[in-house]
A and B are shown apart, each in its own frame.
Chain A
Amino acid sequence: MSSCCNTETVDLPLEPRVAGGIRTVALVGPPNSGKSTLFNRLTGLRQKVANYPGVTVEQRVGRLNGIGRSDLTLIDLPGIYGLDRYSEDARVAIEVLHGEMPGTPAPDAILLVLDSLQLRRQLMLAAPVLALGLPTLVLLNMSDLMEARGGRVDTLALAQELGVPVAKISATRGAGLDAINHFLSRKAEALAGQAESSAGSADGAAAPAMRIELPVIGNPRSYRQWATGISTRTKYKAPLSSEWGKRLDGVLLHRIWGPLVFLAVVFAVFQVVFTIGQPLSDGFGNILNAAGDRVAPLLGHGWLESLTIDGVWRGVASVLVFLPQILLLFLFIGVLEDSGYLARAALIADRVMRSIGLNGKAFIPLLSAYACAVPAIMATRTIENKRDRFATILVAPFMTCSARLPIYMLMIAAFIPNKPILGDLFGLRAAVMLSLYLLGFLAALATARLLKSSILKASSAPFILELPQYRLPTVRSLSLRLMDRGKVFLRQAGTVILAVTMVLWVMSHLPTHATLGESLIGRLGHLIEPVIRPLGFNWKIGIGLLTSVMAREVIVGTLGTLYGADPATQSLGLQAALRHDLTLGGAMALVVFFAFALQCTSTLAIVRRETNSWKWPALQFCYMSVLAYVAALATNQAILHFIR
């Protein structure tokens, strides 16, 4: 443990990789260092979000508009603790920094963001980053908070120790950001061949010395000794941890109050998404449909109107209606995450989630899945462990999402008498509805266990959860988050869903002048009838199953059209028509089928995006379909034999 032998002196080759000076800047920092806030601050609203090729790590790129340098590109690297290839995030970071990531330009300079509230530990990342030898500016974030709480550090001494300029900033307030501009233009000048000006500690950016000591690369212990040595020599004094933060934890993680607050939060999320989100979504849906009706007369009465309005517009609108609920849910998750409560919630939920083989961080995504699996699957990004994350993604669609409600309500209203069980409050219909919710939940539990003991077995990374300090979420970061998620969702609706809708429309209208039963989709319905007959379904239900592959609620519309077009049931309402045509067994088999089946192209598309492979959505679709078929078959046969 002789620290003397763990360091070596390195002359940093501060030479440009590209002859043209600085074009691309990489933003590097540990998780929770305020890196994303700074990225948003520096790039403004116009940022590109995508996945790095071949992996599920998110890539954010933007122009440095925030400091008036739209000629420079800023790449946000995933939050990392070190530059060893132990995680996918770190592998991506290394490849980008070395210019080995296809499609991403090699960075010419680095902005290293460190949380000044815990500088001693965060400095450990500086060692491998500085060893890269790229022009680097170290940004001590949240320095206003550090100083307000009695912390201090000698930035000039730190710059001398590190051999690169150091600046104090506050990303949330946007303070001290001139230092970045200063650094970039000075480096560009230096790289352009002009005399290296090492002077200028203006704007808080201290001047560098070129010869520095770095620890042996790849050894965390020597990193820590090095970082500790530097923090001592630069007179770093850690700020006192905030008193009210401790007091808040005393309540929020309290043995009794903690779980109560947790349940209240969970209930509030649920309540808001349903009681505020549902009417918002309905209203939005009405607006979308009204807009379609307004445009319809302009298109005449031919196939063009039918394709645009009945096909494309109605189809896309049926997905777009989820936008208000999705945004609302993400607003909630955003507030919980930015304030620091989400980490506490994960800590409380961990014990329960562990019993099904998942970890505490899976709780919020699974809860969100009760509204819609799409945002839930997007929300699994907070789970760092890939296997846990994939398992959560794969079980999320079992949670009873709001798109299942229309068919549940229709079938229950048509087939289940409203007999009271516990007085007027709880009747047979409510009991059936509740059992369907329970059915989905149990399927999710069983599947999670199955996955964690088979293909996603033995996650080597256990539950390691950093508890960030409590902060007030800012409107700015919340709105950016919402725009981000909204964009992803809309892009999905505009591409995959649009395509599927058009294919379905064409299939139900070819050959021309045929009735729906004789159209391609109708023939397909007849074709699969022998397969679904044991479930108690007829060919009309078959068509409904096919069209609802796009989205679950589509089946209600399809059945409405089909029974409306059939002369035998035309005069009856939809509920009466269904009673006329289906047995109780068939009806219950249908809702059970919907409890399990993955009838949702949006979910499939988002799973494809988040897992970066068609393998997972394909597996998920097959597994859930088989399960749905078997369960529906069992339901129909059971009712056939026992109830009649």
Chain B
Amino acid sequence: MVAIALLSEFGAENADDLDLSGAWKLSLLSELAIGTTAVIESLELPGEIQHHLMHMGFVPEARVVVVRRAPAGDPTVYSIDGFEVALRRDTAKAIRVREYDALSARQA
């Protein structure tokens, strides 16, 4: 059941492409480069905002893609569950993610 839940987080069609045993690098959502895909680990925001974001789909194990930055460099647009939402750096800083680290996976 756990495995099924995990796979379904990635969407069935993508499950085969992802190597879950590889190397994962922990970082903050705000630090990711454009085009990066990462999986949410945890959120550490004040109650109300945390709740709001979680109801929008920002929950642990959800997959998030960094889409683009606003012309001024902040806020940044993220894609989650097929829709786009913009967050300021302050907010994204409080979201821990793990990013699939292709380089260290190859070395290992």
Residues of A at the B interface (CB closer than 8 Å) are: 1-4, 81-82, 84, 86-87, 117-118, 120-121, 124, 220-221, 223-225, 228-229, 231-232, 237-238, 241, 249, 253-256, 258-259, 347-348, 350-352, 354, 460-467
Query: In the complex, which of the residues B8, B13, B53, B74 has the most CB atoms of chain A within 10 Å of its own CB atom?
Result: B8
On chain A, the residues within 8 Å of B74 by CB distance are 350-351
- Whole-angstrom distance from the CB of A115 to the nearest CB of chain B? 8
Are B46 and A460 in contact (CB-based, < 8 A)?
A: yes
- Whole-angstrom distance from the CB of B35 to the nearest CB of chain A? 13
- Whole-angstrom distance from the CB of B48 to the nearest CB of chain A? 5
On chain B, the residues within 8 Å of A1 by CB distance are 2, 5, 60-61
Are B72 and A461 in contact (CB-based, < 8 A)?
A: no
Are B8 and A467 in contact (CB-based, < 8 A)?
A: no
- Whole-angstrom distance from the CB of B2 to the nearest CB of chain A? 6
Residues of B at the A interface (CB closer than 8 Å) are: 1-2, 4-5, 8-9, 11-13, 46-49, 51-57, 59-62, 68, 70-75, 77, 80-88, 90-91
Q: CB-nearest residue of chain B relative to A31?
A: B56
Partner of A121, one of B52, B68, B83, B90: B83
Knowing A221-B54, A224-B59, A229-B8 are in contact, say whether A462-B49 is a contact too (CB < 8 A). yes
On chain B, the residues within 8 Å of A224 by CB distance are 54, 57, 59, 62
On chain A, the residues within 8 Å of B82 by CB distance are 117-118, 120-121, 238, 241
Are B75 and A350 in contact (CB-based, < 8 A)?
A: yes
On chain A, the residues within 8 Å of B83 by CB distance are 117-118, 121, 466-467
Query: In the assembly, what is the distance between CA of A222 and CA of B85, in Å?
Result: 21
On chain A, the residues within 8 Å of B4 by CB distance are 3, 229
Partner of B55, one of A220, A350, A462: A220
Are B52 and A4 in contact (CB-based, < 8 A)?
A: no
Are B85 and A254 in contact (CB-based, < 8 A)?
A: no
Are B70 and A347 in contact (CB-based, < 8 A)?
A: yes
Query: In the assembly, what is the distance between CA of A228 and CA of B6, in Å?
Result: 10
Q: CB-nearest residue of chain B relative to A466?
A: B85
Are B85 and A253 in contact (CB-based, < 8 A)?
A: no
Are B85 and A465 in contact (CB-based, < 8 A)?
A: yes
Are A461 and B52 in contact (CB-based, < 8 A)?
A: yes
Are A81 and B85 in contact (CB-based, < 8 A)?
A: no
Are B57 and A462 in contact (CB-based, < 8 A)?
A: no
Q: CB-nearest residue of chain B relative to A259?
A: B71
Partner of B56, one of A117, A228, A229, A466: A466
Kindly list 6 other residue pairs between chains A and B, CB separation below 8 angstroms, not including A117-B83, A253-B68: A1-B5, A84-B51, A229-B8, A461-B48, A463-B86, A465-B75
Are B2 and A258 in contact (CB-based, < 8 A)?
A: no
On chain A, the residues within 8 Å of B72 by CB distance are 348, 350-352
Of all A-B residue pairs in the complex, the 9 with the closest CB atoms, nearest first, are A220-B54, A351-B72, A81-B55, A121-B81, A3-B5, A467-B84, A82-B55, A258-B71, A465-B86
Are A464 and B59 in contact (CB-based, < 8 A)?
A: no
A-B contact pairs, 18 of them (CB 8 A): A2-B2, A3-B5, A86-B47, A118-B82, A118-B83, A124-B57, A221-B60, A229-B4, A237-B13, A238-B11, A238-B82, A258-B71, A347-B70, A350-B72, A461-B52, A462-B88, A464-B49, A465-B86
Partner of A461, one of B2, B49, B90: B49
On chain A, the residues within 8 Å of B57 by CB distance are 121, 124, 224
- Whole-angstrom distance from the CB of B10 to the nearest CB of chain A? 10
Partner of A249, one of B49, B56, B68, B80: B68
Q: CB-nearest residue of chain B relative to A343?
A: B86
On chain A, the residues within 8 Å of B61 by CB distance are 1
- Whole-angstrom distance from the CB of B18 to the nearest CB of chain A? 15
Are B1 and A467 in contact (CB-based, < 8 A)?
A: no
Q: CB-nearest residue of chain B relative to A256?
A: B71
Are B8 and A464 in contact (CB-based, < 8 A)?
A: no
On chain A, the residues within 8 Å of B55 by CB distance are 81-82, 84, 124, 220, 223
Query: In the assembly, what is the distance between CA of A88 and CA of B84, in Å?
Result: 24
Q: CB-nearest residue of chain B relative to A384?
A: B52
- Whole-angstrom distance from the CB of B29 to the nearest CB of chain A? 13
On chain A, the residues within 8 Å of B52 by CB distance are 81, 86-87, 461, 464
- Whole-angstrom distance from the CB of A44 to the nearest CB of chain B? 30
Query: In the complex, which of the residues B51, B90, B91 has the most CB atoms of chain A within 10 Å of its own CB atom?
Result: B51
- Whole-angstrom distance from the CB of B36 to the nearest CB of chain A? 17
Query: In the assembly, what is the distance between CA of A81 and CA of B54, in Å?
Result: 9
Partner of A232, one of B8, B68, B88: B8
Q: CB-nearest residue of chain B relative to A255?
A: B71
On chain A, the residues within 8 Å of B84 by CB distance are 466-467
Query: In the assembly, what is the distance between CA of A87 and CA of B61, in Å?
Result: 25
On chain A, the residues within 8 Å of B77 by CB distance are 253, 347, 467
- Whole-angstrom distance from the CB of B8 to the nearest CB of chain A? 4
Are A2 and B1 in contact (CB-based, < 8 A)?
A: yes
Partner of A220, one of B51, B75, B87: B51
On chain B, the residues within 8 Å of A2 by CB distance are 1-2, 5
Query: In the assembly, what is the distance between CA of A237 and CA of B11, in Å?
Result: 9
- Whole-angstrom distance from the CB of A446 to the nearest CB of chain B? 23
- Whole-angstrom distance from the CB of B40 to the nearest CB of chain A? 10
Query: In the assembly, what is the distance between CA of A464 and CA of B49, in Å?
Result: 9
- Whole-angstrom distance from the CB of B16 to the nearest CB of chain A? 14
- Whole-angstrom distance from the CB of A116 to the nearest CB of chain B? 11
Query: In the complex, which of the residues A1, A228, A348 has the most CB atoms of chain B within 10 Å of its own CB atom?
Result: A228
Are B5 and A464 in contact (CB-based, < 8 A)?
A: no
Partner of A229, one of B5, B59, B62, B68: B5
Query: In the assembly, what is the distance between CA of A221 and CA of B59, in Å?
Result: 6
Q: CB-nearest residue of chain B relative to A2?
A: B2
Are B87 and A463 in contact (CB-based, < 8 A)?
A: yes
Are B59 and A220 in contact (CB-based, < 8 A)?
A: yes
- Whole-angstrom distance from the CB of A363 to the nearest CB of chain B? 13
- Whole-angstrom distance from the CB of B53 to the nearest CB of chain A? 7
Q: CB-nearest residue of chain B relative to A238?
A: B82
Query: In the assembly, what is the distance between CA of A81 and CA of B58, in Å?
Result: 12
On chain B, the residues within 8 Å of A249 by CB distance are 68
Partner of B71, one of A118, A225, A254: A254
- Whole-angstrom distance from the CB of A236 to the nearest CB of chain B? 9
On chain A, the residues within 8 Å of B13 by CB distance are 237
Query: In the assembly, what is the distance between CA of A238 and CA of B71, in Å?
Result: 29
Query: In the assembly, what is the distance between CA of A221 and CA of B52, in Å?
Result: 12
